[in-house]
Structures are given as C-alpha cells and as structure tokens.
C-alpha cells in the first residue's frame, strides 16, 4: 500500500527563490515514486502578493489546479524591520496551519514533512503528529533563530531565547532531520539528546531538464550577473560597490534582485547613473536561469556573521547549473564548495578591488572561463541533481 505524506511549508510554487523551488521539486519527485503527497502552504506572497497576479509566474500547468495543494490566505503583512508585525505574521500563520490540520484530521498520513523556518509551522506539525499518529520529518533550511540575530535587526533577547528553546525541542522531537547544508550538522548535533539520531543531507540543486537547456553565453558583450535576495543577509553595500566599479569598467552587470533592499539598490543605480547596471524585476525561475546562462561570470555575497558560514546559497548552485563561474565574497560551506570543485574564486567580502581584477582577468581569458564552466557542469551532474539526491530520503519513507 502506498505511503501518504503531508508537506507543511510556507513557501511553494510559484513563489520565487530557492525555498519554493525546493519544496516543488520534493513534491513532484516523491509523487513520482508512488507516494501520495499533499501540500499545505500559504498563498504566494514573497516578496509581495501583487507579483503573483501576473500569469507568467503560474507557468507549471500541472500544479496550478492540483487538488493535492492546499493554500492558506494570510491577512497579516510581514515587515522584517518591525518586531510586532513579524510576530503577528508568524502567529497568524501558525494558527491557520493548526486550524487546517484539525480540518484534515480524518485524512490518513504516515509522515509529516515540515520545512523550517519558520518555527511556527513546525509547532503545527507536532499537533499533526498526534492527530495523524504520523512520523515527523523535519527539514532545516536555515539555523533559525541564529540567522535572525545574524542580520542584526532582530535582537530581542527574550524572544530569541524562547526561539532557541523551541528550536532545541523541535530537533529532539522530530523522528528524522533533513538538512540542505552540511554546515548545519554540528549545530544540530550539539542540541540532540540522542546522538544516534540520523541527520540526512538533501541539498538544493538542479533538475535534469534544466541542465544545458537554458541558453548560451551572450556573444555581443561581456556580462556579469547577480541573482537572488537583496536583503539583510547579502551585504548589499558590497553589491553596490561592485556595481559601481563594474560600471566604471563598462561591464554589463545584470541584477535579478528582490527583497528588503531592492528599492534602495534601484535608487543607488539611478542616483549614480549606472548605465551598465540593469536591475531586473523579479521573474520566474526559468527566465532567471536564462539570464544567468547568458552571463559569463556571476557574483555572490553573504554577511560576514558566523551563522552565514553554515549556509550553501541556492544561487551558487543556480550559477553552476547555468555553467556561469562564481566570484564570491563568502566563507564556510559556500567557499568550500567553490574552491573544492573549482567553479570560481573566493575572496574576503570586503575585497571588491580584487574581485574586479579577477573579473577583468577572466574577461580576457576564454580558456580559463571554459575550464570553470566545465567544472560547474560536472559539479551539478555528480553532486547536485535532484533526481539523484531524492533517493537519500527514500529509506526514511519505508520505515
């Protein structure tokens, strides 16, 4: 008899970003393996609800009217800079998930697959565990609340302390733990009472159909790309500095950016008349990959806080998927991957001048770029293919 699984996640198709894409891939691939999968998620609202009024984002017809996908409408608005607004948003989310879980209590689920953050959805999962007598598979995509502290905008000690208490509880009460970055493992291990509890590594990556199908490099001019969030974790001041210097060198810089500081970055471009810098509106994954594939080099930055050293940004894997070598101001897990597999170059995130010099060098060295591009392709094919890596969690669903 086929197993049944309920996915609980804030982000799901068509939400842009790695979290929504990740959960879509897990849903599709598990559904193909004779598992009955339902998804409980929110109406798409990241980075804003109005974005999803555009038909272009609903480009997966088999998902648009899928009865296995249940969407909850949240009334509260999430403002990261306002503590009360943030808490209200997450509390409403937790309440709506719990309410819906009670409405589904006559359903039969063998497993609850819950994606964290946010922690409030995880709390609803433990209620679901009791109602359905199901096993909890906890997926950790971010070391929350450490990442909240890391952006230095959320530092209420009482609330952070409460979240840390809940974080430890959720690791210990989950039946299985899945991580998308190996950098998370030591942190989680320290919190586990049962040191024999398995922690399964399931990274982000590419689908087979995405490799080699998104276009070729721009032949008219040299182009550098940044894709992803322009928020508190990405050190946007460094991206501004890089943009300014690339513009001075008359190098086209494509930015596919969204998030808290996107408007600030747009104003920076206009104020400084950066004619070679283009800020693209948020778009679909397919179109984002096309722009990345047309670019000759890519860049990524992360805030220098220690918590971000544990992260493997999804955009690094997107760059590699498109065979676009990486110039990175990162450390930790992301730096290790880039260096080990020779898919680009890593710098201190303050070393903008050195990054510019490397970009200028690679601009003139086609053979060096070709070698890096081939390394990108090999990395994805051997380490970061969804169709291959999904097998890592199949043993968890056969117990």
159-174 pLDDT, tens per residue? 788 888 989 999 999 9
Sign of the dihedral defined by the CA atoms of residues 155, 159, 161, 167, in that order: negative
Question: Residue 14 and residue 166: Cα distance in Å, rounded?
Answer: 30
Question: Residue 119 and residue 166: Cα distance in Å, rounded?
Answer: 8
Instruction: Judge whether residue 222 has pLDDT over 70.
Output: yes
Output the pLDDT for position 85: 80
Query: What is the average per-residue pLDDT within 292-304?
Result: 92
Q: With bands split at pLDDT 50, 70 and 90, how would you rate the model's confidence at 398? A: confident
Question: Residue 323 and residue 344: Cα distance in Å, rounded?
Answer: 11
Percent of the chain at pLDDT > 70 equals 94
Instruction: Judge whether residue 183 has pLDDT over 60.
Output: yes
Query: What is the average per-residue pLDDT within 325-342?
Result: 96
152 class by beta-carbon count within 10 Å (0-12 exposed, 13-18 middle, 19+ buried): exposed
Considering only 38-52, 121-135, 141-155, 198-212, which range has the smallest mean pLDDT? 141-155
Output the pLDDT for position 274: 98
Instruction: Judge whether residue 125 has pLDDT over 70.
Output: yes
240-295 pLDDT, tens per residue? 999 999 999 999 999 998 888 899 999 999 999 999 999 999 999 999 999 999 99
Query: What is the average per-residue pLDDT within 93-102?
Result: 97
What's the whole-model pTM score?
Answer: 0.94
Extract the tokens encoding 337: 């991957």
Instruction: Judge whether residue 12 has pLDDT over 90.
Output: yes
Beta bridge partners of 138: 114, 177
Instruction: Judge whether residue 115 has pLDDT over 90.
Output: yes
Instruction: Judge whether residue 23 has pLDDT over 80.
Output: yes
Residue-range domains of the chain with CATH: 4-204+385-397 (3.40.50.2000), 208-383 (3.40.50.2000)
34-74 pLDDT, tens per residue? 999 999 999 999 888 999 999 999 999 999 999 999 999 99
More confident residue, 273 or 308: 273
Output the pLDDT for position 157: 79
Mean pLDDT value across the chain: 92
Considering only 206-215, 265-274, 325-334, which range has the smallest mean pLDDT? 206-215
């Amino acid at each position: 008899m086929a197993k049944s699984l309920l996915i609980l996640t804030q982000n799901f198709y068509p939400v842009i970003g790695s979290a929504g894409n990740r959960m879509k891939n897990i849903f599709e691939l598990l559904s193909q393996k004779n598992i009955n999968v339902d998804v409980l998620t929110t109406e798409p609202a990241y980075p804003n609800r109005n974005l999803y009024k555009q038909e272009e984002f609903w480009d997966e017809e088999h998902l648009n009217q899928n009865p296995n996908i249940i969407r909850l409408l949240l009334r509260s608005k999430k403002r990261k800079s306002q503590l009360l607004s943030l808490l209200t948003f997450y509390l409403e989310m937790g309440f709506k998930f719990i309410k819906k879980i009670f409405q589904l209590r006559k359903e039969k689920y063998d497993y609850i697959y819950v994606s964290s953050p946010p922690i409030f959805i995880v709390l609803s999962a433990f209620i679901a565990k009791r109602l359905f007598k199901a096993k909890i598979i906890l997926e950790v995509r971010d070391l929350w609340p450490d990442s909240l502290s890391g952006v230095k905008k959320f530092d209420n000690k009482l609330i952070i302390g409460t979240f840390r208490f809940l974080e430890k509880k959720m690791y210990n009460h989950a039946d299985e733990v899945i991580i998308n970055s190996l950098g998370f493992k030591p942190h989680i291990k320290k919190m586990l009472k049962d040191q024999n509890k398995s922690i399964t590594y399931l990274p982000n990556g590419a689908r087979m159909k995405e490799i080699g199908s998104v276009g070729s490099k721009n032949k008219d001019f040299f182009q550098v790309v940044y894709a992803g969030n322009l928020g508190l974790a990405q050190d946007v001041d460094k991206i501004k500095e890089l943009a300014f210097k690339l513009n001075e060198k008359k190098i086209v810089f494509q930015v596919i950016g969204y998030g808290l500081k996107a408007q600030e970055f747009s104003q920076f471009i206009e104020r400084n008349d950066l004619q070679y810098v283009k800020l693209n509106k948020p778009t679909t994954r397919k179109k984002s990959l096309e722009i990345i594939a047309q670019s000759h080099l890519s860049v990524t930055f992360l805030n220098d806080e220690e918590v971000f050293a544990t992260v493997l940004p999804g955009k690094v894997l997107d760059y590699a998927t498109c065979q676009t070598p990486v110039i990175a101001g990162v450390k930790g897990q992301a730096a290790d991957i880039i260096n080990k597999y020779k898919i680009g170059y890593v710098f201190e995130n303050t070393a903008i001048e050195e990054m510019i010099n490397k970009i200028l060098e690679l601009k003139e060295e086609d053979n060096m770029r070709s070698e890096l591009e081939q390394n990108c392709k090999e990395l994805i094919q051997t380490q970061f293919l969804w169709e291959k890596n999904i097998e890592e969690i199949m043993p968890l669903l056969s117990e």
